[in-house]
Copies of this chain bind each other. A is one copy, B any other.
Amino acid sequence: MPQLPNAWLIIVAGGSGQRMGAEVPKQFLPLADKPILARTVEAFLAHISTKQMLVVLPQAHFEAWISLCLPVLPDSCRDIRLVAGGDTRSQSVLNALDTLAELQLSPETLVGIHDGVRPMVSPLVIESTYSLAAQTGAAIPVVPIVPTLREYLTNGSSQTVDRSRFCEVQTPQVFRYDWLVDAYKRLNPETLATDDAGVVELEGYEVTLSEGSHQNLKITTPHDLRVASLYYEG
């Protein structure tokens, strides 16, 4: 699979990892002998040039990137730009966009934003999401909801809802560069955005959906890490 033309990637790994109960920030915990974050970078190496990748980390973790991730990655990964994260996820993305601003990217450049703790993203999910975004301006991978869902009602009760009306959102979330910059520039700092698609559509841009994969797990608990390890055992 050839590398995607004109495609950039921001990997956001700013979390403090407190939910993991580990001393090491969660993105550096080993997954089949390599830090999770290194596994995440690996997943994109066939698709995106390392010259067009940014990793957003708390400044305190730059040293961990250098000492734990770089030694297990190809030499080309020394080209990956490190960006200091902010206090919130939105601020971390803004900091990455500040770095991109110096590079004079064309408006239609595609910029993906991916969770640093989502290493099992497949080539198919990467390719199809960037391809769809190239056509539509914004694309995100989704998967169907497996469990039965209920909705809380304002009167304190709840009711069954049709789960086929909903889907689960994953990353990479891929956007035209100009849409992403415009949406983040206007974002109210008070808005708590869990999801870049939510930020972009707040500004009226339409986000389209590509097919994700249930294997594209986000590792946020020790249990998730054990589940993820199953895939690498083969």
Contact = CB atoms under 8 A, between A and B. Distances in A.
Given A226-B230, A230-B226, A230-B227, A149 B167 contact: yes
A206 B157 contact: yes
A168 B195 contact: no
Nearest to A148: B169
Contacts of A150: 142, 166-169, 197, 209
A2 interface: no
A192 to B, nearest CB: 10
A166 to B, nearest CB: 5
Contacts of A194: 148
Q: Say which size band chain A's interface belongs to.
A: 35 or more
Contacts of A145: 149
Which of A145, A166, A197, A198 is most buried by chain B, counting CB atoms within 10 A of its CB?
Answer: A166
A197 B160 contact: yes
Interface of A: 142, 145-152, 157-161, 165-170, 194-195, 197-198, 201, 206-207, 209, 214, 218, 220, 223, 226-227, 230
**Minimum-distance CB pairs A-B, first 3:** A148-B169, A160-B198, A147-B168
17 contacts: A142-B150, A148-B194, A149-B166, A149-B168, A151-B165, A151-B166, A157-B206, A158-B167, A158-B207, A158-B209, A159-B201, A160-B169, A160-B197, A160-B198, A214-B223, A223-B230, A227-B227
